[in-house]
Amino acid sequence: MRKSFLQNEARDERKKQRLVIILGIVLVLIMILSSVGFILDYANNGGSSQSITDYGLRFNPIQSNSASYWQTSIGNAQRQFVRLPSIVAYVPVDAQAEEALPLIPNLQALIIAVDPSGDFGQYSLGSASLLLSDLYSAKKQIVTALTQPTANITTLPIISCANQTYLESSNLSGRVPIIQIQEGNETKIFSQGNCLIAQGSDGEGIIAAVERLRYGMWGLNFNSTTSN
């Protein structure tokens, strides 16, 4: 999985610039459409005013407007989370996905595909904004996409683990790794070809799956670290 996940990066710099342009457009769109509602409704630390140690990390409560987060130092930076590790530790991650998670920050090209359908599409969109904020940098080429068309968002490309026709039409060599966020029967993170899929059975499950992915991406080992 390590080799196949990394070898799918697009290496042609000229073609990568197309992704940068797309990123500039879709990042703003996603943040506007999803982050406001997501932060107001779902980002909370239970009203805590006390710092907490969880899975070996020191978390400080941060208030931002009407939303509250947990902030900790991980992955060589201060990062904000909406759920503590102990809250999302229950999310199962298959072995190949677990191995791939810490490779994500080193990827130079990545697609974040969001399933907008179902009863919990807004949770997928909001969680994607957190992942985007983690990975956005001038040196990375990130495309935000939808897995299927929706009447509310018409400017994003349609890309999914099962359909990469957008990449083929753009003449990109090879396949760019995909993180797909979706609703499903179970809450879990699993690998499928060159895709990592963060899936939740409901809104809270989607948030938990993406937060579990983010912690693993920045190096938190849930298997060798105990809560508190």
Among residues 36, 135, 35, 140, which one has the least CA distance to residue 77?
135
pLDDT tens per residue across span 158-188: 888 887 644 444 444 456 889 999 999 999 9
Provide the pLDDT confidence category of residue 207 given band limits of 50, 70 and 90: very high
Report how far residue 155's alpha carbon sits from residue 27's, in angstroms, rounded to the nearest whole number.
12
Where does the pLDDT of residue 191 fall: very low under 50, low under 70, confident under 90, or very high at 90 and above?
Answer: very high
Structure tokens at 25: 């457009």
Q: Is the pLDDT of residue 14 over 80?
A: no
Strands 57-64 and 67-74: antiparallel
Q: How far apart are CA 158 and CA 155, in angstroms?
A: 9
Q: Which residues contact 163 (CB under 8 A, 6 or more apart)?
A: none
Confidence of residue 19 (pLDDT cuts 50, 70, 90): very low
Question: Residue 123 — pLDDT band, cuts 50, 70, 90?
Answer: confident
pLDDT of 29 strictly over 80: no
Secondary structure of residue 35 in the 3-state scheme? helix
Written as six digits, the tokens of 72 are 């900790």
Q: Which residue, 131, 107, 133, 145, is CA-closest to 22?
A: 145
- The pLDDT tens digits of the residues spanning 89-105 come to 999 999 999 999 999 99
Strand partners, 196: 179, 191
Please tell me the predicted confidence (pLDDT) of residue 183: 94
DSSP lists the bridge partners of residue 70 as: 61, 81
- The residue among 172 and 122 whose pLDDT is bigger is 122
> Could you give the CA distance from residue 42 to residue 16 in angstroms, rounded to a whole number?
34
71-80, 90-99, 120-129, 188-197 — which is least confidently predicted?
Answer: 120-129
Least confident of 46-50, 56-60, 114-118, 130-134: 46-50
**pLDDT confidence tier of residue 33, bands split at 50, 70 and 90:** very low
188 pairs with which residues across the strands? 199
- What's the average model confidence in pLDDT over 127-147? 79
Q: For residue 135, is pLDDT > 90? A: no
- pLDDT-derived band at 2, boundaries 50, 70, 90: low
